[in-house]
Amino acid sequence: MSEYNHVVAKDGDIDPSKVDSAISRIAPGERDRILRNFGEFKVYLNKRIRLAESIGMNEEQMAQIAQKVADYLASHEEPRNNEEMLLQELWKVGTKEEQHTLAHMLVRLAETQHKH
């Protein structure tokens, strides 16, 4: 796959506008496996957070991507559990600033997943 399809380029440049296409390339069965269980979703996010940290991304950059992911999920995916339903409802009623704050909180939640 060409580098232009990735959210994070080899040189470390980040393009949050490519989040939608990156998520849409995940096979539907794999997306369902990740989203079906909130614990599994947090584990998946934790792996992505650790990868982002390993290439030098800071929390603000991760939150920007998390915000784009949440926008995508709120628009394209039905919640599969109560936790996702609550997050989607909070996302939809939040202002852009509140959504950005929630994205930071989700990054921190995913960072701590391996500690529990």
**In this structure, is residue 36 part of a structural domain?**
yes
How many structural domains are present in the chain? 1
3-state secondary structure of 14: strand
Angle, helices 96-111/59-76, rounded to nearest 10 degrees: 110
- Give 14's strand partners: 8
The pLDDT-based confidence of 18 (bands split at 50, 70, 90) is confident
Residue 89 has, within 13 A of its CA and on its CB side, a CA count of 6
In whole angstroms, give the CA distance from residue 42 to residue 8. 21
- Outline where 5-81 has alpha helix (H): 19-24, 28-36, 38-54, 59-76
- pTM of whole model > 0.85? no
8 has which bridge partners? Answer: 14
CA distance 69 to 3: 19
Looking at residue 5, what DSSP letter applies? G
Residue 14 lies in a domain: no
19-66 residue pLDDT tens = 888 888 899 999 999 999 999 999 999 998 999 899 899 999 999 999
pLDDT at 82 over 60: yes
100 pLDDT above the threshold of 90: yes
Does a structural domain hold residue 12?
Answer: no
DSSP conformation class of 113 = G
Q: Determine, yes or no, domain membership for 13.
A: no
Q: Residue 59 maps to which CATH number?
A: 1.10.760.20
In a domain? residue 6: no
Residue 72: which domain range? 28-115
Per-residue pLDDT at 11:
61
